[in-house]
A and B are shown apart, each in its own frame.
Chain A
């Protein structure tokens, strides 16, 4: 059986229990066995992985191993990887081989990590179920009839199914936290700007943020130590110094005050999930934390505001896909307009087109003030709610999703119902706050997730809260059966 966590892999490699080549091969074997059903990977980089693993082993033998040396990871197919196809889940980029490396994947390479492959995702990261991938839906390892969540569904399902010990994802309105909840994982959406967006194919620039999927908060901290940091090539990258995200993990929680935003414990939340959260609250109380009810009055408006801002930004971010310099180009365009319209219509799927159209509408003359500008104003109200609340408490605890993983096909016919899946994750995205998702129970054999939202740049504190919880619970240790 493969090791469970990154920490275990690190110590196994260090103590020479196995080599990077061996463990990489084991993961590749498992991927080959399970991926045909789960569809977690769009590209499996077997040759690259093995050669990286061999190099890592050589470095270790030479005494030059950095922290993640030889650790196999998977990357969401939104991160451009030089020489490795990067599809973004789209036909538009089906054959796109980037001539450059994203900052996030470059940092992992520099840290010695091994790339097992590129994971499936909703096209251009637009979706909450991974059903919007050109390469087909990903299946939830806990119940293959169900969605793994989205848009980073491939990464989440891969970690949950043990196809890798950790993976990268991106979160625009919940695309790390919601799949983490559906798949029983720990996933962190860092503060906006904490992780570089360079080389990450943009969906909504003011919201997109890369982050880790892992089994444990401790693993997430290890990955954050590599991913986080200022990037001079990204104007929106935060300049605050990073910290050692593992250093605060062991800190006791005595004296911590955690807020419970009442709007999140509403009728929208399934009762069984609420019960699981109440149990988690008890665990934290036993660890010395105290709770306080707080209010984030504009929560309800976050989904509408998000579904104006994100489509507006995406509608113009995706204009570069025009069939001229890279990506899909239609056959025999009869004129320039035909080239644009046909390349884009053939290259993009339905949800992407829908969002481009909504965004175009929201920015167009006569509608800008009522839609885009109003959404940006509401965004400030939402941020203000959080800022004043987080002055009173150290973090907020709330659900990640209204319910557990839904069935594939269950919500595809109604875009608005699908959008409402993100009601608990979107507010922190709009405010740009860090949020940690982690498992806190099960309902009918499916994982239940909770979410911890912190003030700007308090990732270390959130990971500390997550780690202390995980030291006292075992939800994160459970794995789906997968016929084993």
Chain B
């Protein structure tokens, strides 16, 4: 039988606020345990939450970016359950009145087609702390630094049909939140975590199968593997005459496998109700429009603009806008160079190669966009040739200074003086009499190869500094 997977994702995005959603404690990642947990985060008796305006603004930005309706009145609810990383015994979340209502985004399928995925809602809530399972004499240690970090939970409709689609959706979300600057999107630090709801059904069937939820998967690769594995597990069960149990499962990256969560055996009744310590957030159209007017350009808009403004191909523009940092880098550099195609080639080529080799993000590049721009400007204005430019980039990468400085120091300036080049060409012709004879005897087809050899010799003789176009022109003239 042919099976179809039905997948919906609940993505938790940590918002990049300075302070927590309901307290003035810092949200910096990696601090010593419990040094960023204030009395509110620790749920000390009598402590009260006060909402961070920045988290609201960020949620609205996201809503506008996915074309969603923004709730002008959103309400915080308490979700009640006991867990040691949840100090109040309830999580403050939004149930019936989330800040962001239905929206949608487009993903690109492997066959190049576009598919629209509907987003049910996105709501604000607080993150929990962390349980550390290293052994403290049979005890678990609790770090509440993360407790109260603002989260935007983005819930998709169950419209994804494969692990690959799920990853494409997640990557799209990732690019949107990082473009908006509302999250650092660093999945390794838990800034974006994903709960995957997965079920399978015979292709063509309308009703959904029994679903399982895989909790807290925190990389694109794991999402793909966890979902793929779960789809296969469910199909195997059904084909083996067994049933899929509705349950919550955990993905174990080490074993590349999921297992049922033991702590959720007892069916929880979350007893949601409006948090009486907080009041409804009311925002008006003016507030929403002010945010809309300042919304940064999103990936699709940027792609279209890169094509029209810079005359880049769809492919090049697509690669460049895949991350906001890369697109920004490109734009800064190209503004200096004045040649988009040249800049794009170098950003996607020489620079990307070095970044990949060193596992660096473009934001961590030792050569900043201005630096590359100035270098390429020298290539463009014929101060140096392409070979020299690569050497200069290498030197810049190693921290040897700015492009002009290195060009000067290494004497890489291209020779464009016709007299000087003629002298070099004459020397090359004299030293390579055999090739010159061959050239004269050869037909058009073979002449190209021979002239390239001679150009190479001339550039070599100039120690790489001669302008190749000029050399070629002068050679051609002299040989004819």
Most interface-central of B49, B87, B271, B279 (chain A CB within 10 A): B271
Chain B binder among A18-26, A92-100, A396-404: A92-100
Chain B binder among A8-16, A147-155, A202-210, A461-469: A202-210
Judge whether A319 and B89 touch: CB under 8 Å.
Answer: yes
Q: Which residues of B contact A324 (CB under 8 A)?
A: 84, 87, 142
Chain A residue with Cβ nearest B140: A336
Judge whether A98 and B50 touch: CB under 8 Å.
Answer: no
Residues 67-95 of chain B: 1 if any A CB is under 8 Å from the residue's CB, otherwise 0?
00000000000101010100111100000
Chain A residue with Cβ nearest B84: A324
User: B347 → chain A, closest Cβ, in Å?
Assistant: 48
Residues A202 and B46 in contact in the complex (CB < 8 Å), given A235-B278, A236-B277: yes
Q: Which residues of A contact B89 (CB under 8 A)?
A: 316, 319-320, 322
Taking a contact as CB atoms closer than 8 A, the residue among A201, A236, A322, A336 that contacts B45 in the complex is A201
Most interface-central of B48, B49, B50, B269 (chain A CB within 10 A): B48
Judge whether A205 and B277 touch: CB under 8 Å.
Answer: yes
Give complex CA distance A312, B274 in Å. 11
Residues A313 and B84 in contact in the complex (CB < 8 Å), given A234-B48, A235-B48: no
Q: Which residues of B contact A340 (CB under 8 A)?
A: 82
Give complex CA distance A227, B107 in Å. 57
Q: Which residues of B contact A372 (CB under 8 A)?
A: 273
Q: Which residues of A contact B273 (CB under 8 A)?
A: 312, 316, 363, 368, 372
- Asked whether any CB of chain B lies closer than 8 Å to the CB of A242, the reply is no
Give complex CA distance A100, B272 in Å. 30
Q: Which residues of A contact B88 (CB under 8 A)?
A: 319-320
Judge whether B84 and A336 touch: CB under 8 Å.
Answer: yes
Residues 198-234 of chain A: 1 if any B CB is under 8 Å from the residue's CB, otherwise 0?
1111101110000000000000000000000000111
Judge whether B279 and A98 touch: CB under 8 Å.
Answer: no
Q: Which residues of B contact A234 (CB under 8 A)?
A: 48, 50
Chain B residue with Cβ nearest A231: B48
Q: Which residues of A contact B50 (CB under 8 A)?
A: 232-235
Q: Which residues of B contact A232 (CB under 8 A)?
A: 50
Judge whether B47 and A198 touch: CB under 8 Å.
Answer: yes
Q: Which residues of B contact A201 (CB under 8 A)?
A: 45-46
Q: Which residues of A contact B84 (CB under 8 A)?
A: 322, 324, 336
Judge whether A316 and B82 touch: CB under 8 Å.
Answer: no
- Asked whether any CB of chain B lies closer than 8 Å to the CB of A146, the reply is no
Q: Which residues of B contact A384 (CB under 8 A)?
A: none
User: A158 → chain B, closest Cβ, in Å?
Assistant: 22
Residues A197 and B80 in contact in the complex (CB < 8 Å), given A205-B277, A325-B87, A363-B271: no
- Asked whether any CB of chain B lies closer than 8 Å to the CB of A185, the reply is no
Taking a contact as CB atoms closer than 8 A, the residue among B43, B46, B51, B276 that contacts A102 in the complex is B46
Judge whether A363 and B276 touch: CB under 8 Å.
Answer: no
Give complex CA distance A100, B43 in Å. 13
Q: In A154-203, which residues have CB < 8 Å from any B CB?
A: 197-202
Judge whether A316 and B78 touch: CB under 8 Å.
Answer: yes
Give complex CA distance A102, B278 in Å. 19
Q: Which residues of A contact B276 (CB under 8 A)?
A: 204-206, 236, 313
Chain A residue with Cβ nearest B83: A336
User: B199 → chain A, closest Cβ, in Å?
Assistant: 23
Residues A360 and B271 in contact in the complex (CB < 8 Å), given A98-B45, A232-B50, A326-B44: yes
User: A391 → chain B, closest Cβ, in Å?
Assistant: 25
Q: Which residues of A contact B278 (CB under 8 A)?
A: 235-236
Judge whether B43 and A197 touch: CB under 8 Å.
Answer: no
Q: Which residues of A contact B423 (CB under 8 A)?
A: none
Chain B residue with Cβ nearest A202: B46
- Asked whether any CB of chain A lies closer than 8 Å to the CB of B42, the reply is yes
Q: Which residues of A contact B43 (CB under 8 A)?
A: 320, 325
Residues 84-118 of chain A: 1 if any B CB is under 8 Å from the residue's CB, otherwise 0?
00101000010010111010000000000000000
Residues 125-157 of chain A: 1 if any B CB is under 8 Å from the residue's CB, otherwise 0?
000000000000000000000000000000000
Taking a contact as CB atoms closer than 8 A, the residue among B45, B47, B271, B272 that contacts A88 in the complex is B45
User: B22 → chain A, closest Cβ, in Å?
Assistant: 9
Taking a contact as CB atoms closer than 8 A, the residue among A93, A204, A233, A319 that contacts B48 in the complex is A233
- Asked whether any CB of chain B lies closer than 8 Å to the CB of A365, the reply is yes
Q: Which residues of A contact B78 (CB under 8 A)?
A: 316
Give complex CA distance A194, B130 in Å. 37
Judge whether A200 and B46 touch: CB under 8 Å.
Answer: yes
User: A369 → chain B, closest Cβ, in Å?
Assistant: 11
- Asked whether any CB of chain B lies closer than 8 Å to the CB of A364, the reply is yes
Q: Which residues of A contact B279 (CB under 8 A)?
A: 235-236
Q: Which residues of A contact B44 (CB under 8 A)?
A: 80, 98-100, 325-326
User: A267 → chain B, closest Cβ, in Å?
Assistant: 34
- Asked whether any CB of chain A lies closer than 8 Å to the CB of B39, the reply is yes
Judge whether A235 and B277 touch: CB under 8 Å.
Answer: yes
Give complex CA distance A96, B84 in Å. 20
Judge whether A319 and B80 touch: CB under 8 Å.
Answer: yes
Chain B residue with Cβ nearest A360: B271
Judge whether B87 and A320 touch: CB under 8 Å.
Answer: yes
Residues 358-387 of chain B: 1 if any A CB is under 8 Å from the residue's CB, otherwise 0?
000000000000000000000000000000
User: B134 → chain A, closest Cβ, in Å?
Assistant: 17
Judge whether A235 and B51 touch: CB under 8 Å.
Answer: yes
Q: In A306-321, which residues have CB < 8 Å from any B CB?
A: 312-313, 315-316, 319-321
User: A126 → chain B, closest Cβ, in Å?
Assistant: 15
Q: Which residues of B contact A79 (CB under 8 A)?
A: 46
Residues 37-67 of chain B: 1 if any A CB is under 8 Å from the residue's CB, otherwise 0?
0010011111111110000000000000000
Give complex CA distance A204, B275 in Å. 11
Give complex CA distance A81, B48 in Å. 16
Q: Which residues of B contact A98 (CB under 8 A)?
A: 44-46
Q: Which residues of A contact B142 (CB under 8 A)?
A: 324
User: B58 → chain A, closest Cβ, in Å?
Assistant: 19
Residues 373-386 of chain A: 1 if any B CB is under 8 Å from the residue's CB, otherwise 0?
00000000000000
User: A21 → chain B, closest Cβ, in Å?
Assistant: 31
Judge whether A319 and B90 touch: CB under 8 Å.
Answer: yes
User: B271 → chain A, closest Cβ, in Å?
Assistant: 4
Give complex CA distance A99, B90 in Å. 23
Judge whether A325 and B42 touch: CB under 8 Å.
Answer: yes
Give complex CA distance A150, B277 in Å. 24
Chain B residue with Cβ nearest A96: B45
Judge whether B277 and A80 touch: CB under 8 Å.
Answer: no
Give complex CA distance A235, B271 in Å. 22
Chain B residue with Cβ nearest A363: B271
User: A118 → chain B, closest Cβ, in Å?
Assistant: 14
Chain A residue with Cβ nearest B76: A235
A-B contact pairs, 13 of them (CB 8 A): A80-B44, A86-B45, A98-B46, A201-B45, A236-B277, A236-B278, A316-B273, A319-B82, A320-B45, A320-B89, A322-B82, A324-B84, A365-B271
What residues of chain A have their CB less than 8 Å away from a CB belonging to chain B? 79-80, 86, 88, 93, 96, 98-100, 102, 197-202, 204-206, 232-236, 312-313, 315-316, 319-322, 324-326, 336, 340, 360, 363-365, 368, 372
Q: With contacts A100-B44, A236-B278 known, what are 6 further pairs, Cβ within 8 A?
A: A198-B48, A235-B278, A316-B89, A320-B43, A363-B273, A365-B271
Which 4 A-B pairs rank lowest in CB-CB distance, beginning with the nearest? A319-B89, A205-B276, A363-B271, A206-B276
